[in-house]
Amino acid sequence: MTNPNEKSREEKMKEVIDGAKRVDGEEMNLEDKLKIAKHAPDVLDWAEKTMKEIRKDPKPEKLEDYEVTSCVLDCSWGPAEGGSLSKGGLKIQWGVKGVGFGELDIWITSEGKLRADSETMGRDFAKLIMCALMDRVEFISPKLEAITKEEHGMDSHADMDEEE
Q: Which domain holds residue 24?
A: 1-56
Query: Are 66 and 93 in a shared domain?
Result: yes
Residues 95 and 151 in one domain: yes
DSSP code, position 8: P
pLDDT level of residue 161 (50, 70, 90 thresholds): very low
pTM of the model: 0.51
Q: Are residues 77 and 118 in the same domain?
A: yes
pLDDT band at 101 (very low <50, low <70, confident <90, very high): confident
Cα R_g (the chain), whole angstroms: 21
Binned at pLDDT 50, 70 and 90, residue 93 comes out as very high
Q: Are 66 and 45 found together in one domain?
A: no
Q: Does residue 79 share a domain with residue 46? A: no
Could you tell me the CA-to-CA distances from 41 to 83, 100, 102, 103, 119 in Å, in that order?
34, 20, 19, 21, 19
DSSP letter assigned to residue 152: T
**Residue 100: CB partners within 8 Å, gap ≥ 6?**
50, 51, 54
Number of domains in the chain: 2
Instruction: Check whether residue 75 and residue 150 sit in a common domain.
Output: yes
3-class DSSP assignment, residue 63:
helix
Residues 110 and 65 in one domain: yes
